[in-house]
Structure 1
């Protein structure tokens, strides 16, 4: 899910840097794939909560399963936002030069770096780096 979200963000950045708008033409396919992955994760999490044996076989605690479900929902929501941005770009591509100068678009590299940091450190569980990346994302949201 993360790879699909981040690849679409990179492609949006490429379009804003003068790249071909065809880079983002498959945005609906990518968005649908993330939706499908969310449903898959939710089904698997439901099984973990309903069956202790399944949780044991998967070597996942219920707490971890809850974290995975929350993460999957957040990534799916991020993809929804990136997909909406992509639709706007396609429908209004004549505004790309002006939009490229706006703070939200200029902050995309920082947003992507913070998201990457979160994804890496969720696995390593470095709480300081997770909190730093989370705070950066919150700051970017309000700027």
Structure 2
């Protein structure tokens, strides 16, 4: 059984190009053959600004959107975050989604596909997101 790789489209902004970049990378992962690759779009989870009363390490989720997100993250063995750069930072939707759960991320490898119209091509966003992800 191949490891389950979630390729997470990390921007929820209207007019985003993340789905196209995500589909491109999903096809590369699928052709690689070493993963059971699944494309996951943050927009489908409708995560508001973090709204759980209990710290996520307790896994006592009150809201259905959190339970759905938790199940998705928990189901994966590894992640690739597809993200643009917003003002030298990762998308706020990704930062919020990372904070929603804790244990579900533990000890799972992660990679990044950054993109952007500017000189860095998303590099600064990836650098900042890496700090969040390695903390989890």
Question: In proportion to residue count, which structure has more helix?
Answer: 1
Larger strand fraction of residues: 2
Q: Is the pair's TM-score, using the shorter chain for normalization, greater than 0.5?
A: no
Greater RCO structure (CA 8 Å; 6+ sep): 2
What is the TM-score of this pair, normalised by structure 2?
A: 0.30
Q: TM-score, normalised by structure 1?
A: 0.29
